[in-house]
Structure 1
Amino acid sequence: MSPIQTLDPESCYRAVKSRDRRFDGVFYTAVRTTGIYCRPSCPARTPAFGNVTFHPTAAAAQAAGYRACKRCLPDATPGSPDWDVAADVAGRAMRLIADGLVDREGVEGLAARVGYTSRHLGRLLTQELGAGPLALARARRAQNARVLIESTDMTLTDAAFAAGFSSVRQFNETVRDVYDMSPSELRGRRGGSRPAHGTVVMRLAVRTPYAGRAMLDFLALRAVPGVEQVDGDTYSRTLALPHGHGTVRLRLPDVATPGETAFAHAEFSLGDLRDTGAAVERVRRLIDADCDPVAVGDAFAGDPVLGPLARRRPGLRVPGHVDGNEVAVRAILGQQVSVTGARTTAARMVAEHGEQVATAVDGLTHLFPTAAAIAELDPEHLPMPRARGRALVGLCHVLAEGDIRLDRGDDRDATRSALLARPGIGPWTADYVAMRALGHPDVFLPTDIGTRDALRRLGVDTDPRELAETWRPWRSYAQVHLWRSLTEEDD
C-alpha cells in the first residue's frame, strides 16, 4: 500500500490529461476552483495543474472538503488493486471496512481484528489512505446509499439503515455533503424500472480486459447443487450474511479491450437490507473485481510459457469466494479426488447439514453448512476417509471458535501457518485456501494434478517450483492460466 505522500502529482496529472481509465479507483482528483473530486477519466475539461490535488481514496477527498462529481460519479469505480495486493495493515483494514465491520462492531472492533489500538490504527490509516476508519466507513456508506436510492423502490428511511447509517439525519447530511444533493433529489435522477422491495440491482465496476466467460466456466464446473448454479450466462448462489441470508444472480462481462471500465450485472435478493454492503463486497471478491489486469498481463508478456496463454485469454481473473470457511471445507473435500467427486460430496453435505432456505431462484435451496454445524459431526460417519473426516471436523471447530479467520482481514502468512499446523492440512490445501479465500495474488500449487498436466501439455519439463519463481508476484494468476489451458481446446 503506497502512503498518501508517495502519490506523484506529475504522474497523476498525466493520467488525468489522458483520461486513463486504468487509474479509476487508484486515486481521485480534487479541483480547488470547483470544490469537487473526480475519477481520473472524467470527461470534463482538464483543470490546470496548479488547481488540483490528488487523494488515494474518496474518503480522503471528502475529508478535505470536496464533493463527488455528478458527471463521472467517482465512487462508481473499481476499488484500488493495492487494497487486494497489499498484505499490510492498511490493506487488511480496507477490506474489513468494505465488508461493513465498522458499521457492525465500530472502530474498536476493526482495531481488534488487525491487532492495533484504535488510536494507532487511526494514525496509520490517515497516513496511508488520507482518512481515518470512520471517514473511510462513511464514504462506503455514502456509496451504498446512492446505489440503494437510485436502484430500489424502498423508502428513504429504509435506504438509510440498509446503507449502514445509524440515523436518518446522519444519512441526509452525508448524502448532501458527498453528492451536493438531497436523497430525494438523487432519487429523482434515476430512470428505468424499479425492482421489488428487498431486491437490489447493481452494476459492479471491473477493469478490462475481463474474461467473464472463463470465470463462469470455472464456477460452473465446481457449482454445488442447492447452493450454486449456472444457467446460460448467469451464475447464481445463496449467501450467508451478517444479518440473514440472500441470493445473488450475476452476469459477467467478457471484454478483451484494455483500459476501460466494464460492469458485472448483479441482482441481490436480501432478507435484511442492512447486508447490502457486505453482499456487494463479497461478490466483488468472488469475481476479483479490483484486479489490475494490465499489470498482470505485462508481467507475463515476455514469458515463454505464460506469454501465449495471457495473450490468448486477456483479463483472466483468480476466482475468489463469498465465504472463506466454505472454501476451506471444499478444499479438504477435494483432497486427492476429482473436481466432480468433491462436488458430489459437497452436495451431499449440503443436503444433509445445510440450512434450507426459501429463495426466488429455482434450484437454490440451501446455505452451505456452517463451520459450527460440521464441527458437531462424527468424523467416522462422513463420506470420506476417516483421517480426512477428522481433519475436516477439527478445522471446522477452530473456524467456529474464531481461532482462525478466513475473511481477508488477518495476516495471510500467519493464517497459512495456522492452517498448516492443523492435522491433515498440507501445503496444497493451505495454498488453495490462501488463493481463493484470502485473495493472495502470489500462490502456486506445484503438486496440483492440473498444474502438472497443463505443463506437460505445454511441453514444459522444468521443475514447477523453479519455473514459478519467475512469475512472482502474480503466481495465483499464473496458476489460473495453467488450469484454463486444459480446457482451451473446448473453446
Structure 2
Amino acid sequence: MELDFERCYRAVDSRDQRFDGWFYTGVTSTGIYCRPSCPATTPKRENVRFFPSAAAAQGAGLRACRRCRPDAAPGSPEWDVRADVVGRAMRLIADGVVDRDGVPGLASRLGYTERHLHRMLRAELGAGPLALARAQRAQTARVLIETTGLGMAEVAFAAGFGSVRQFNDTVREVFALAPSELRAQKRGPVSGGAGTITVRLAYRPPLHVGSLLEFLALRAVPGVEEVRDGTYHRGLSLPHGPGEVALTPAAGYVSAALRLADLRDLAPAVARCRRLLDLDADPVAVDATLAADPALAGPVAAEPGVRLPRTPDHPFEAAVRAVLTQQVSLRSARPLLVRLLAHCPPHPNPAAGHDRDGGWGLRGFPQARQVADVPDDGFRGPAGRREAVRALARAVADGELSLDGDWAQTRRQLLALPGIGPWTAGYVAMRGLGDPDVFLPTDLAVRRGARALGLPDDPKTLDAHAERWRPWRSYAVARLWRAAA
C-alpha cells in the first residue's frame, strides 16, 4: 500500500482520530510508532515514516508508543470492506488462523501458495503473515497481562506464543517493557476469573448506539442473544470452545466482558465482536456519501454513525437466518429459529456457569453439520424452506460451499443452491460476509422505508436510484430499514 506523505502528515499534525488504524506514524528520532491522533508533539518531517500496519513498524525496529497505545487503535476500514485476497487474509489472521494452522493453513484457505501470499501481504502491508500474526499476539498478550491475574506462562500460552522465551522477547521488542513491568503499570482492574476478561473495543466516531441496539434487539434469538439495560449479550462458538460476551457501548469505546472456555480464543473473540458491531467502519465516509442524496440527508444528520451489524460466529448463521426469513416478518421468523436451535444441542460451556440472571448461559449458533442433521420435526413451514436450509447446511459442512472466500464467487455458489434467490444471497453477503455495497430492492421493508423518505418504491426504479449510494449501499439498506420502522 502506498501512503501519501503529505496527506498522512496533515492527519498527524491535526491529530485526526479518523485516521487511527489506517496507518501508523514511525518517529525515527525516538524509535517509537504512534497512531495519527497521538497527543504528543508533532514530530519533524525528516524524522517521520509512515507504515500501513503495526507489524511493518515493528519490523523497522520501532516500539509501540506508551502514551497513545497504537496497538489498541480501531482496525483499518480498508480490510473490513475489501473482498480481495489481502482483505480476506487480514480477516483470517485476525481470527487466529495463522496461530492455529500456520501459514500453510492460511494459504490453503485462500487458495494461493505461501510464497505468493507472502509477496502480496508484503506489498500491501509491509509485513508477511507471520509478522502480522506476531503483532496480534503481542496485543493479545498485553490485554491479558493488564486485565487478568494469570501467570506469565499462562499468558504466553493463551496469546498463542510457542514458548515463554518467545513471549518475553516479543513483549520487550514491541513495548520496550518486560511483561512484569507491563503488569506493574496495568490500567484497569484485574478480571474476576481465569476465563473472564474485560477489554475496550475502540471505534471511529460517531456511533449511533440507539440504532445499533435496536437493530440487534429486533433480530435477537432467545438462547443465543439478548439486549438488556443497554447491553448486548451473545453466545459465541469459538475455535477452541464456547464463550459469551456482554457488549456495552460507551463514549469512544465498547466495553466487552468476555467469558471464554479457552483463553486462546481471546483474539478471535475480539475480532468477531468488532465485526459483529461493525466497529472498524469509517462512518464519516459512509455518511458523507449517503447525505449527498437529499432524501437521506435528514436521517443522516439526525442519526450520524448508523452501523450494520454482522453475524459473529460464521457467515453460515446469516445464511440460515436469511432462508428462514424469506417472505416472513422478523417476528414470524424468530420461532422458526428457536425451534431449529432446540434440535441442535449446544456444546457444554464451562465458561458460562449457571449465572443466568447475570446474563450468561447463552450459546453460539450451531455448526453446519448440526443443522444438516436436524430432523423434520425441527422445522416449521413449507417443505421447500426446510430443504433449502438442509441443502445449504450440507454444502457448507461438506466443503462444497465456502462462505469465507471471494464475495462475488460466494454469491454465485449460493444462487446455485435450491431455494436461494437474489434477496437471500444479498442478505448473506451483507450481514454474513460484510460486503458494504449490497442493495435489496425487492425487500418489503426497504421499499416501505424508501416510500417513507419520498423515494420511489418500485424495485427497478429504486435499484437505479441506489446507484448514487455506491460503495455504501448496504448502509443505505440499514437506513431504509430504520425509516420503515
**Do the aligned residues in 2 keep the contact of 1:357 with 1:365 (CA within 8 Å)?**
no
- Note the aligned Cα RMSD (angstroms): 1.4
The equivalent residue for 1:425 is 420
The equivalent residue for 2:444 is 449
Matched, 1:395 2:385: no
- What's the offset of the Cα at 1:405? 2.7
The equivalent residue for 1:170 is 166
For 2:176 and 2:378, the matched residues in 1 are separated by 61
- Secondary structure of 1:395 counterpart: helix
Matched, 1:476 2:466: no
**Do the aligned residues in 2 keep the contact of 1:81 with 1:290 (CA within 8 Å)?**
yes
Question: Which of 272, 276, 293 is the aligned partner of 1:303?
Answer: 293
**Do the aligned residues in 2 keep the contact of 1:350 with 1:366 (CA within 8 Å)?**
no
Aligned amino acid, residue 412 of structure 2: S
Deviation sequence 1:354-394 (CA, Å, 0-9, x none) = 31645245263443322101112345862121011111001
The equivalent residue for 2:340 is 349
- Secondary structure of 1:184 counterpart: helix
Say how many residue pairs are matched: 474
Aligned amino acid, residue 482 of structure 1: L
Matched, 1:137 2:133: yes
Aligned amino acid, residue 158 of structure 1: E
Report 1:86-165 matches (<5 A).
86-165=82-161
Matched, 1:67 2:58: no
Aligned amino acid, residue 149 of structure 2: D
Structure 1 unaligned spans of 5+: 256-261
- Secondary structure of 2:294 counterpart: coil
- Secondary structure of 1:200 counterpart: strand
**Do the aligned residues in 2 keep the contact of 1:357 with 1:367 (CA within 8 Å)?**
no
**Do the aligned residues in 2 keep the contact of 1:238 with 1:248 (CA within 8 Å)?**
yes
Identity of aligned residues (%): 55
- Secondary structure of 2:236 counterpart: strand
- Farther off after superposition, 453-462 or 62-71: 453-462
For 1:210 and 1:157, the matched residues in 2 are separated by 38
The equivalent residue for 2:180 is 184
For 2:378 and 2:265, the matched residues in 1 are separated by 36
Aligned amino acid, residue 283 of structure 2: P
**Do the aligned residues in 1 keep the contact of 2:234 with 2:362 (CA within 8 Å)?**
no
Report 1:191-340 matches (<5 A).
191-195=187-191, 196-253=193-250, 262-323=252-313, 324-340=315-331
State the TM-score, normalizing by the size of structure 2.
0.95
The equivalent residue for 2:76 is 80
For 1:77 and 1:191, the matched residues in 2 are separated by 16
- What's the offset of the Cα at 1:278? 0.7
For 2:462 and 2:3, the matched residues in 1 are separated by 37
- Secondary structure of 2:254 counterpart: strand
**Do the aligned residues in 1 keep the contact of 2:199 with 2:257 (CA within 8 Å)?**
yes
For 2:415 and 2:179, the matched residues in 1 are separated by 50
- Farther off after superposition, 33-42 or 189-198: 189-198
- What's the offset of the Cα at 1:401? 1.6
Deviation sequence 1:78-101 (CA, Å, 0-9, x none) = 011100122221111111101000
